[in-house]
Amino acid sequence: MNTTIERSLVIVKPDGVRRGLIGEVIRRIEAKGYAIVAMGIRTATDELLGTHYAEHAGKPFLPGLIEYMESGPIAVIVVEGHRVVEGFRSLAGVTNPTAAAPGTIRGDLGRDWGTPMIENIVHGSDSAQSAAREIEIWFPGL
Ligand code: IDP
Ligand code: MG
């Protein structure tokens, strides 16, 4: 059994903020039982996103992804709890909102809009190591 309390970095992306879904995402995180330990409304920059999405450096969709993430304000949230990284990915659903299961954030609230970039409401860290790295980018020293 893993008894270590983990953190995950969650972002409500610009499409989610535009559609007024910050509260709904927070509601689902809290309903699941995780704790919110930091949050803020931010505007992403090339510099922040270049580091945040370092794993996608060189991928053809990165410039479009950066443009999407800079298209409006985002809500950046640090969530805490046992196995929260896996747990939030489960709440979020798979990357493509058309394929994401009903009951998940992306499956219930997202859809394909015919845009080149997959707009899918939320980001969630994919490992405890990514979470630590991402939290340091958005909330240095937290
Ligand atoms: P994740 O957000 O489910 O972890 P990643 O593979 O890390 O998915 O991709 C980061 C983000 O980039 C996705 O959430 C989505 O917005 C976008 N994205 C990923 N793959 C594609 C693609 O093949 N086409 C368009 N957009 C993509
Ligand atoms: Mg990812």
The per-residue pLDDT for 84 is 98
Q: What is the DSSP letter of 115?
A: -
Look over the chain and give the mean of its residue pLDDT values, rounded to a whole number: 97
The CATH number given to whatever domain includes residue 26 is 3.30.70.141
Q: Name the domain count of the chain.
A: 1
Cβ of 117 less than 6 Å from ligand 1: yes
Report the SS3 class of residue 82: strand
- Residues in contact with 48: Cβ distance below 8 Å, sequence separation at least 6, in sequence order: 137, 138
Task: Give the CA distances from residue 49 to residues 45, 87, 125, 137, in Å, rounded to whole numbers and listed in that order.
Answer: 6, 24, 14, 9
Please tell me the residue having the least CA distance from ligand 1 atom 16: 118
- CA 87 – CA 105 distance, rounded (Å): 12
Q: How far is the CA of 1 from the centre of ligand 2 (A)?
A: 26
Please tell me the residue having the least CA distance from ligand 1 atom 25: 117
Confirm if 121 and 16 have CB atoms less than 8 A apart: yes
pLDDT above 70 for 2: no
pLDDT in tens, 113-142: 999 999 999 999 999 999 999 999 999 999
**Which ligand is located closest to the Cα atom of residue 63?**
1
- Residues in contact with 38: Cβ distance below 8 Å, sequence separation at least 6, in sequence order: 77, 78, 139, 142
Its domain, for residue 52, covers: 5-138
Q: How far is the CA of 140 from the centre of ligand 1 (A)?
A: 25
Which atom of ligand 1 is least distant from the CA of 126? 4
pLDDT in tens, 94-121: 999 999 999 999 999 999 999 999 999 9
Report the SS3 class of residue 35: strand
